[in-house]
Amino acid sequence: MTELVLLLVVVVTALAFDFTNGFHDTANAMATSIATKALKPRTAVALAAVLNLVGAFLSVQVALTVTNDILRIQDDDGAPVEGLAGVPILEILLAGLVGAILWNLATWLFGLPSSSSHAMFGGLIGAALVAIGTSGVKWDGVVEDIVIPAFVAPFVAMVVAAAAIWCVLRIVASVPRGTREQGFRWGQIGTASLVALSHGTNDAQKTMGVITLALIGYGSWTDLEAIPVWVKISCALAIASGTYLGGWRVIRTMGKGLVELTPPQGMAAEASSAAIILTSSHLGMALSTTQVATGSIMGTGLGTRGSTVRWSLAGRMAAAWIITLPAAGLTGAGCWLLMTAIGGVAGVLVVFGLLVVLSGAVWARAQRAKVDPANVNEDWDGELAPASARPEGGRP
């Protein structure tokens, strides 16, 4: 009975993480379309929610990466690795997920588009290290699937988006501005939809992988190459629900803070992000969609004459990216130590209760300076000129 209770708590917590992933990362797909007014805020998040839901069913490669390439808890036959018999898989997953959720909420409170993916991986790795030791982590998988993409993806996205906007603006230079802007707004709807779809193929699957790991730890699932259907459905619904809630604080930062976007820039950023994320999903790479989307937005600023990149904000975001893995890892490790110090079901419920209390506190604090559809597009403290103040929307 104790193991069943723990499994249920882990599944609920995993779906809660998936929900926070949805509203934290809505900005990846829709911040640019909202900022340029290609889509109304509520319409944008509703469209993103539907496409996140659809995208979650299109692939399982990223989910299998999470299941097989991060934690070393069993061999290819489903038996515990030698020396790791009795590994408390469910407790590790719970502690790691709590660490990831708390980091997601903290960065959301400050409007920082940090990586939900890295928060989850950091939490799991931190909990595994204190529970098992270094032998419990597949370091080659961590380096290949997490660390290297974390450093490479933002720069690749930046270069691709800068080249895209540079080419596009020259191709349409002779088109009247009104016609051009209207066409790009329609184009943004299509490219934003692709980003939302690709987000579903990548991020929803990470939680699928975690829940599948929990089922393996409980002993009710053994197939390392498949994901249970009910897990796919529940994760798809959770991330879609979170997306519909709309992470307005992060949307504002990405849409108005980094670069004052024009429709051409918005379309170039979204097209670049979609191409990179869909490619990574096909290859099974658990890429940070936040880093890709942010790099793409910055790239359009660099590739457009007269556009301004707010480097001070970009620096704070980069700092958040760097500390996400260790911060979530420390939180996950702390949750594990607290859980085991109390012991049994009581320890599990205390950690889960702590998550509920701290989440409520963060939400209450956010309401003091609320960001919602009514003010998400307000000027960024006057530090960047609105797009309408730049001649020809920054056209070279």
Q: How far apart are CA 92 and CA 95, in angstroms?
A: 5
In this prediction, residue 390 carries a pLDDT of: 36
Contact yes or no for 185/191 (Cβ under 8 A): no
If you average pLDDT over residues 222-242, what whole number do you get?
87
Tell me the pLDDT band of 83, cut-offs 50, 70 and 90. Answer: very low
Evaluate if residue 208 carries a pLDDT over 90: no
Evaluate if residue 387 carries a pLDDT over 50: no
What's the distance, Cα to Cα, between the start and end of the chain in Å? 67
Of residues 393 and 35, more confidence is placed in 35
Q: What DSSP string describes 228-269?
A: -HHHHHHHHHHHHHHHHH--HHHHHIIIIISB---HHHHHHH
Which range of 116-125, 253-262, 270-279, 355-364 scores highest in mean pLDDT? It is 355-364
In this prediction, residue 81 carries a pLDDT of: 46
Q: 3-state class of 71 per DSSP? A: strand
Name the residue range of residue 278's domain: 2-394
Name the CA dihedral angle for 238, 239, 244, 245, rounded to a multiple of 10 degrees. Answer: 80
Summarize pLDDT for 50-72 with one digit per residue, the tens. 998 888 887 666 667 776 667 77
Q: 3-state class of 118 per DSSP? A: helix
Please state the domain count of the chain: 1
Q: What angle do CA 143, 286, 19 make, to 5 degrees?
A: 130
Evaluate if residue 113 carries a pLDDT over 70: yes
Task: Provide the CA 334 distance to its chain's centre, in angstroms.
Answer: 23
Task: Provide the CA 154 distance to its chain's centre, in angstroms.
Answer: 14
